[in-house]
Amino acid sequence: MPTILWADDEIDQLQSLILFLEKKGFEIVPVANGQDAVEEIKTRSFDIVFLDEQMPGMGGLEALDAIKAEQPLLPVVMITKSEEESIMEDAIGAKISDYLIKPVNPSQILLTTKKLLETSRLQTEKSSQTYLRQFGELTSRISPRTSWEEWIEIYRELTKWHIELSDGDEALVQVLEDQFKDANHQFGKFIQKNYEQWLNEGKDEAPLLSPGVIEKYVFPHLQDDKKTMFFLVDCMRYDQWLVFEPYLAKMYDINTDFYYSILPTATPYSRNAIFAGLSPMEIEQLYPSLWQQGQDESSLNRHEEELLAKQLKRAGIDINFRYEKILSADVGKQIAGKMQNFAQSKLAAFVFNFVDTLVHSRSDSEVIKELAPDEGAFRSITEAWFQHSTLLQMFKELADEDVTVIVTADHGSVRSMRDTKVFGDRDTATNLRYKYGKNLNTVDETASIKISDAKRFKLPEIAKANEYIIALEDYYFVYPTNYHKFQNRYRDTFQHGGASMEEMILPIVTMTPKK
């Protein structure tokens, strides 16, 4: 039974309203002043508080502060005789959930109560009903014959449902996750069939891939003499962008498109391809000094600024640009404080590393894994970071400038739940979702894409080894040596490098400040 705390110095005159709510199935705890209301909050839990604004002693606003100090998320409805704007501003600033003007009638009280208690449930029920009606139609669209455009729409819809239903009925969430899993299975078949063709048969029938991102989304603004800010958020998935977007919608007009990351969906390949406007193989061939091979991924992304300069030069765009890589909060604060200066540049490019750092931290930290046991919780942690991030601060600063802001990611990540054994020589790469080396083989051939000729996939040969394997769906690679140790260590971690919708289908967002 929902319990309501009602504080009013004229509580005896409200018995008819209290009886009305009790008949509707609510338990009412009446108190005659703010101090008693605060004491009740300390001793028991309530679902809603009705709080009179004008009470002798501790008034409504003072009681509101004390209640919120005890239970910040408890819904409070302010009831007042006054319609003064300043009072309402004070109450709303203190995070009331609603307010009513006296005299109140039973219908008002009931409607407000139901709105606060049942809105979330009703919205979830409505979403559940809509998803179930669309389930069959969505399933019929999932097949290896689906086009790349249709795969983007399928991924968008599944992601939307995953966010809307994440707090709903567990059985329905499982249905959705099974559908997502089946979609990734079919998507893997689709990539196996079409990806090599995209790379080698021109752009007409292929989706936009990593090397074409800057050419398509940045160059036109530069050619129109518009100041452009390019933000690359390492490892940002579409669902994470969707929880960032509401914080920006009041400041910017936002248009979201999509592109496909190249394989492997890993920083040395996908991010270098974006800044260079070239495939990894072409980077190695044209600029060998800028493609330094090695097992350490971070060493392969030291030359993004130079690669961007060379892409601009090849395109005949002669401008000075600024480039910054934000690897820590301190660096982010320094740059956020200078955004007006950056906004004077014709082009400024920023790489934000936090989301990727969080992905790797969850793999290595039991504390973070406990805080984010599933994708919904992981999404919430990312949202909490964004609310207080220097990235959001930068966007706020740029909202007052005459600039175009482009936001994208180099790759996403996937929650890796299934292992598959892999065999290779001692020089085989250690990555969990992709490997390169010699004599590569897996026990389950359906769990990965085998690349026997790196050049056909526009990938560089590494140490004269031209073989790659790319994990499909939610698989991760484990060597037979110490198999169970690494199987348990990496199961249920977020990884990237493979071929899944979450890793390959990425948002690319154009934001124009609202004036």
Q: What is the pLDDT of residues 403-438, one digit of tens each?
A: 999 999 999 999 999 999 998 877 777 789 999 888
Highest mean pLDDT among 115-129, 162-176, 210-224 belongs to: 210-224
Measured in whole angstroms, the distance separating CA 274 from the mean position of its chain's CA atoms is 20
The residue type of 228 is: T
Name the least confident of 78-92, 182-196, 285-299, 488-502: 78-92
What is the rounded average pLDDT for all residues in the chain? 89
Instruction: Decide if pLDDT at 159 tops 50.
Output: yes
Residue 266, pLDDT score: 93
- Which uninterrupted H or E stretch holds 27? strand 27-31
- DSSP-assigned letters across all residues of 269-282: HHHHHHHHTS-HHH
Residue 294, pLDDT score: 44
Instruction: Decide if pLDDT at 301 tops 80.
Output: no
Residue 120, pLDDT score: 62
Using a CB cutoff of 8 Å and minimum separation of 24, what contacts does 215-219 make? 215/277, 215/311, 215/315, 217/257, 217/406, 217/408, 217/508, 217/510, 218/347, 218/406, 219/315, 219/317
pLDDT in tens, 25-70: 999 999 999 999 999 998 888 989 999 988 888 888 889 888 888 8
Q: What is the DSSP letter of 494?
A: E
Measure the N-to-C terminal CA separation of the chain; round to a whole number of Å.
49
- When pLDDT is averaged across residues 269-277 and rounded to a whole number, the result is 96
pLDDT in tens, 217-267: 999 999 998 999 999 999 999 999 999 999 999 899 999 999 999 999 999
Instruction: Decide if pLDDT at 296 tops 60.
Output: no
Residue 87, pLDDT score: 53
CB 506 within 8 A of CB 422: no
Report the C-alpha gap between 336 and 334 in whole angstroms: 6
Q: What superfamily in CATH does domain 3-104 come from? A: Response regulator (3.40.50.2300)
Report the C-alpha gap between 471 and 495 in whole angstroms: 10
pLDDT in tens, 389-406: 999 999 999 999 999 999
pTM, two decimals, is: 0.80
Instruction: Decide if pLDDT at 299 tops 80.
Output: no
Residue 193, pLDDT score: 94
Helix, strand, coil share (%) of the chain residues, nearest 5: 50, 20, 30
Residue 36 backbone dihedrals phi, psi, to 5 degrees: -65, -35
Residue 167, pLDDT score: 72
- Which uninterrupted H or E stretch holds 43? helix 34-43
To the nearest whole percent, how much of the chain has pLDDT over 90? 57
pLDDT in tens, 85-114: 555 555 555 578 888 888 889 988 998 888
Report the C-alpha gap between 495 and 433 in whole angstroms: 7
- When pLDDT is averaged across residues 119-143 and rounded to a whole number, the result is 83
- When pLDDT is averaged across residues 486-495 and rounded to a whole number, the result is 89
In 32-153, the DSSP E strands lie at 48-52, 76-80, 98-101
* pLDDT band per the 50, 70, 90 thresholds, residue 213: very high
